[in-house]
Amino acid sequence: MALDKEIVTRVCAQLTKYLLERSAENLNISISKAEKYSVKIVSKVFLKDDELDLLRSYLSVRPQEVGYYYLPLIGEYGSEEDLAVVAMLLEELELIYDESKHELTISFRVR
């Protein structure tokens, strides 16, 4: 369970950093826990198509064991590629971008 808390913390930190680097506004993070942690991040941010595609590709990586191996290193160097590592630890991920409102919603659940 302690590892789940670390995963949630690091994933939220990486996504927050990613969004703030793109001048995100009204960033809201909601975390709930039933059997597993579920997180929803909503932010107003302008993303170009290529930025959105790159974010999707980072967040679609899945080999779980590699993610656990690299988890202690996340955030050490502050690169966007860290998103690919933390995504390996997620069970479920949904990324919705409303272009008309420039609103990004990222929902995930930890494995």
Residue 72 scores a pLDDT above 80: no
Rounded CA-CA distance 108/50 in Å is 22
- Say what the pTM is: 0.73
Highest mean pLDDT among 10-14, 37-41, 64-68, 84-88: 37-41
**Helix count (H) and strand count (E) of the chain?**
4, 4
Mean pLDDT of the residues in the chain: 83
Regarding beta strands 90-98 and 103-110, do their DSSP bridges make them parallel or antiparallel, or are they unpaired? Answer: antiparallel
Residue 69 scores a pLDDT above 60: no
Amino acid at 58: Y
- For 19-64, what is each residue's pLDDT tens digit? 999 999 999 999 999 888 999 999 999 999 999 998 888 887 665 5
